Structure 1
Amino acid sequence: MGNREDLLAGAKRCLIERGWARTTVRDIASAAGVSHAAIGYHFGSKEALLTEALVEAVDELGDELARRTPSDKPEERWQALIDSFTTHRALWVAQLEAAVQAERSPEVREHLAKGQREGREGLGGSVPLALLTGLMLQWLVDPDRAPSGADVIAELRSLATTGWAAPPPKAGDG
Structure 2
Amino acid sequence: MGHREDLLEGAKRCLLEKGFVRTTARDIVKESGTNLASIGYHYGSKDALLVQAYVSLIEGVGASFDPGVGGKVTELPGSLERFQEVWANIIRSVPESRAIWLLSFELIFQGDRLPEVRKLLAEAQEEGRSGLVSMFSGIPEGELDKETVATEGRFYQTVLNGLMVQWLFDPDTATDADQLTEGLRRVIAGMAKSADR
User: TM-score under structure 1 normalisation?
Assistant: 0.85
Q: Give, in angstroms, the shift of residue 38 of structure 1.
A: 1.6
- Whether 1:81 aligns to 2:90 is yes
Runs of 5+ unmatched residues, structure 2 = 76-81, 134-152, 192-197
Distance 1:14 1:92 in 2: 15
Distance 1:23 1:117 in 2: 26
Question: Match for residue 96 of structure 1?
Answer: 105
- CA 1:82/1:108 → structure 2, altered by over 3 Å: closer, same or farther? same
Q: State the identity %.
A: 44
Q: Distance in 1 between matches of 2:30 and 2:39?
A: 11
Runs of 4+ in structure 1 off by over 6 angstroms are none
Output the amino acid matched with 1:16: L
Deviation at 1:60, TM superposition (A): 1.9
Q: Which whole-Å CA distance do the structure 2 matches of 1:68 and 1:19 have between them?
A: 32
Distance 1:159 1:97, change over 3 A: same
What is the CA deviation profile of residues 85-131 of structure 1, one whole-angstrom value per residue up to 9, with x for unaligned ones?
Answer: 21110111111112223222232112211221011111121101100
Note if contact 1:75-1:149 (Cα within 8 Å) is conserved in structure 2. yes
Describe how 1:71-150 pairs up with structure 2 within 5 A: 71-72=74-75, 73-124=82-133, 125-150=153-178
| Aligned amino acid, residue 122 of structure 2 | A
Superposition deviation, residue 23 in structure 1: 1.6
Correspondence for 1:15: 15
Equivalent pairs counted in the alignment come to 163
Q: For 1:158 and 1:69, how far apart are their aligned partners in 2?
A: 31
Matched position secondary structure for 1:34: coil
Partner of 1:35 in structure 2? 35
Distance in structure 1 (CA, Å) of the matches to 2:43 and 2:115? 15
How far apart, in 2, do the equivalents of 1:57 and 1:149 lie?
23
Q: CA distance change for structure 1 residues 80 and 88 in 2, over 3 Å: closer, same or farther? A: same
RMSD: 1.8
